[in-house]
Structure 1
Amino acid sequence: MSRGTLIGVAALSGVVALWSAFALSTRAIEGAGLTTGDAAILRFAVPALLLTPWIPRTLRAVRGAGAGALGLVLLAGLPHFLLFAWGAELTSAGLTGLLVPGTVPLFVTLLLFLRHRTPVSRRRLGALAAIVVGVAASAMLRGGTADLGGVAVLLAAGLVWALYTVGLASLRLDLVSVIVVISVTSAIVALALAVTGVLPSHLLAGTLPAPQIATYALVQGVGTGLLSTACYVLAVKHLGSSLASSAGALSPVLTAVVAVPLLNEPLTAGLAIALALIVSGVAVFHLAPRR
């Protein structure tokens, strides 16, 4: 393989591992002694601090950005994280890692069709049908701690991420500026909610052990906030968007498998069927022609 291909494969492997780590660590928030507010602060404050030198440039760039698109992009910050964490608490790491990224293509296609009447090829329609059946299987054949309410919350998180994706396509900001906007605004709001008591926080109370702080700052702040985005950009650049998006569907599989020994979550028949349907649907969707 060429040097570029090797870089792309390594970056894509990082994407799969980091996305899986995000789902697993979010599911393990309560078991680690953190509150959702603690995890939110660490998730957004770390990249905000690391990217502080880029804040003045981002503020200048934001003035020329569309307000509507910018509002949609901000949904990818604290609103998406809170929905993701809530759904993870109500269900399992396997379902959390599966339903949110797995339903984004479905919601994006629906949003584009409603807004622009964008046509969809037959293969993509078949892939979307497989995703819908997979979601239904995850809800009807659920097991363990999964329930319908948690599935509904995860679907809402997928819809929010789809709205962010649509907004990002029309936003006139570079990648670093987008990360700065999301991280800074979400960190400020999360801190405000924690200070007022809306989001309880052991971190602000000074009762959170240092190892937990360091672990979540590394996994959520650096891993999810910075490295996963950089790795995905590299993967798309060296392998192409279709292959990168399709291989990214491996993340739910890794999450479900690792959750068995790490979190003692069973790999139920319903989850296995949903995995097969949704992952294959996402892969076919990205590899199929658009029209």
Structure 2
Amino acid sequence: METYRGEPAFNLKGLAAMAATLLIWTGFLLSLRSGSQSVLTTTDLALMRFGLPALLFMPLLLLRWPRIRRIRLRHALLLMLGGLPFFYLIALGSHYAPAAHAGALVPGTAPLFVTGLAVVVFGEPLPRQRLVGLGVIVAGVGVLLGSGLVDLASGYWRGHLAFLGASLLWACYTVALRILGIGALEATALLCAGSLAGLLLLLAGGQVDSNLATAGWPLLWPYLLTQGLGAGIVGGFTYGVAIGALGAEKTAALGSITPALAAVAALFLLGEPLSAGGLAGVLTITLGVLLASGLRWPRREVQPAPAREPD
């Protein structure tokens, strides 16, 4: 039976790793949105996302293979859901909906799926404060999306469905990182190598298209930076470190602050407007994150003063 390790105590290293992850995720979402408007295909972005890390981590994968091969197949498949399937779903959604919507629905709803898996599958308790925080996050997501959530004419609903599917897959990946029993670098190496192998099979079978051969370096280097180096190498490692230090549920809750970062960054970098309702949604989600994460600065235990001896 799978064992699900509960949440570790407050850890400054975990918070620092998650802060770096949030910045990387924001760049990842924005690059997918801008990539959907360029000549690059989704497969091109995926090759940069998984190919560069797979090549870099191949020596590590070979070195640690005797340990990695002992992982149960169902656990490895659970991890792989956060690779190609997640990437293609979020890229598909980015063709139909703005980056701010991706930030709201993917990391914004992932804590709901992670907590649901932890409670239903592993029997983890659900504190009242976290339940309230998750409810506030859902309300903030609704406010941020506004009328776009129910406006069928805009076509956003296609992207929203894809984003929700990607969020569920990301939750499975997050839980897998807690039950695999391997390090963050090993998990990143396994994920990227498996995803690259899947991409090569799809390309060999003519199932997907690639325009990398005709794309120039000025077009490619921003995506290599955000997808390959950022999301693929650094982000995979820092997210694993954050989960190991903070726990899957707290890490997922902190990840919900990505909508705020994505919405603000999309405003300045992509020119996607942020309405007053959108700003209210960002602030509401941030409040929900603070409640759902349950992080508190550890109190120092004050030692009682030694009793004075009578004169």
TM-score normalised per structure 1: 0.85
**Aligned mate of 1:228, from 235, 242, 254:** 235
**1:116-152 alpha-carbon deviations (Å, 9 max, x no partner):** 3332111111112122333444555228967122112
Q: 1:104 to 1:26 in 2, by over 3 A?
A: same
**1:214-256 alpha-carbon deviations (Å, 9 max, x no partner):** 221221011111112344566678x966987665544321211
Q: 1:276 to 1:248 in 2, by over 3 A?
A: same
**Aligned mate of 1:81, from 87, 112, 120:** 87
Matched-pair contact (CA < 8 Å) for 1:141–1:271: no
Greater share of residues in helix? 1
Q: 1:220 to 1:58 in 2, by over 3 A?
A: same
Distance in 2, matches of 1:113 and 1:196, equals 41
Residue matched to 2:178: 169
Distance in 1, matches of 2:143 and 2:24, equals 26
1:287 has 2:307 as partner: no
Q: 1:174 to 1:35 in 2, by over 3 A?
A: same
SS in 2 for 1:90: coil
1:181 has 2:190 as partner: yes
Matched-pair contact (CA < 8 Å) for 1:76–1:161: yes
SS in 2 for 1:102: coil
Distance in 1, matches of 2:293 and 2:224, equals 32
Aligned residues: 282
**Aligned mate of 2:201, from 192, 198, 216:** 192
- Please say which of residues 269-278 and 135-144 is displaced more in the overlay: 135-144
1:275 has 2:282 as partner: yes
Q: 1:265 to 1:164 in 2, by over 3 A?
A: same
Q: 1:10 to 1:107 in 2, by over 3 A?
A: closer
Matched-pair contact (CA < 8 Å) for 1:69–1:167: yes
Residue matched to 2:133: 127
Q: 1:233 to 1:186 in 2, by over 3 A?
A: closer
Please report how far the alpha carbon of residue 56 of structure 1 lies from its aligned counterpart in structure 2 after TM superposition.
1.4
Q: 1:46 to 1:67 in 2, by over 3 A?
A: same
Distance in 1, matches of 2:258 and 2:275, equals 18
Please report how far the alpha carbon of residue 265 of structure 1 lies from its aligned counterpart in structure 2 after TM superposition.
1.0
TM-score normalised per structure 2: 0.80
Distance in 2, matches of 1:270 and 1:50, equals 43
Counterparts of residues 1-291 of structure 1 (less than 5 Å): 13-138=19-144, 141-142=147-148, 147-203=156-212, 206-232=213-239, 248-287=255-294
Matched-pair contact (CA < 8 Å) for 2:102–2:163: yes
**1:61-119 alpha-carbon deviations (Å, 9 max, x no partner):** 23211222111001111111111111122111111122211111111111222223332
Matched-pair contact (CA < 8 Å) for 2:97–2:160: yes
Q: Is the radius of gyration larger for structure 1 or structure 2?
A: 2
Q: 1:71 to 1:227 in 2, by over 3 A?
A: same
Letter in 2 for 1:64: R
Give aligned-pair identity as a percent.
34
- Please say which of residues 222-231 and 266-275 is displaced more in the overlay: 266-275
Letter in 2 for 1:153: A
Distance in 2, matches of 1:121 and 1:243, equals 12
Please report how far the alpha carbon of residue 200 of structure 1 lies from its aligned counterpart in structure 2 after TM superposition.
1.5
Matched-pair contact (CA < 8 Å) for 1:243–1:287: yes
CA RMSD of the aligned region, Å?
Answer: 2.9
Matched-pair contact (CA < 8 Å) for 2:129–2:294: no
